[in-house]
Structure 1
Amino acid sequence: MLTSSVWIKQDMLIVLPIIGIAITLYIFCSQHKHLLISLLSLEGSVLSIFVLNVKLTLHSTSIFPLIFLTLAVCEAALGLTLLILIVRTHNNDFISSINVI
């Protein structure tokens, strides 16, 4: 009986990051007003992918999770830099006020 509960916990550890990815991608696709919400939802999906990757490669000696986490930190720093630059130039973080062209 104990082993079946261990399998349920193991399956939940794989399902929860997948649910997290789905929720954050839904938030990213549905919220188009503020840049900060978009950046936070992307960061949430990156962290969910990281947790899923660590769970799936738990017993191997892969260096990929460390590289992925390093790139995620660089992505977050670039996103925060862009957010600060946009707020300083446009006085808000509305995506509609940013003219890309």
Structure 2
Amino acid sequence: MNNTAMTIMCLLPILAMTNMLLNQTHFLMTLLSLEGITLSLVLFVPLMLMNCSAPNTAMAVTLLTFGACEASLGLSLMVTMSRSCGNDMLKSLTISKC
């Protein structure tokens, strides 16, 4: 793998976390940012383990499993929040309004 691709793969988790910090208005955008973090880690962790000559298949499957669980839990929370509050804005999550 060439040096440019390796640099991009190493920057993906940082870019996903920056996106999470900057897009915190809607709950759906936060969930999408979390998915971006998870998917970038699915690519990043096996790549780093491959450089250390460690077996990486189980780690990738474990990360994908946690990503699927996180997505289903996040979508169920978003549906519950939109049914109870009427929107998916994160600012409406105070006890007095909702």
Shared fold by TM > 0.5? yes
Q: Structure 2: any 5+ residue segments left out of the alignment?
A: none
SS in 2 for 1:16: helix
Cα 1:90–1:27 shift into 2, 3 Å: same
Q: Report the equivalent of 1:85.
A: 80
Cα contact 2:38–2:63 (8 A) shared by 1:
no
Report the Cα offset of residue 24 of structure 1: 1.7
Q: What are the residue-to-residue correspondences of 1:11-50 with 2, within 5 Å?
A: 11-50=3-42
* AA in 2 matched with 1:55: L
Relative to structure 1, the CA distance from residue 100 to residue 24 in structure 2 (aligned partners, 3 Å threshold; closer, same or farther) is farther
TM-score (norm. length: structure 1): 0.78
**Structure 1: which 5+ residue stretches go unaligned?**
1-5
The normalised TM-score by structure 2 is 0.80
Post-superposition offset of 1:12: 2.8
Equivalent residue pairs, number: 93
Structure 1 residue 71 and structure 2 residue 63: aligned? no
CA RMSD of aligned residues (A): 2.0
What's the % identity of the aligned pairs?
A: 25
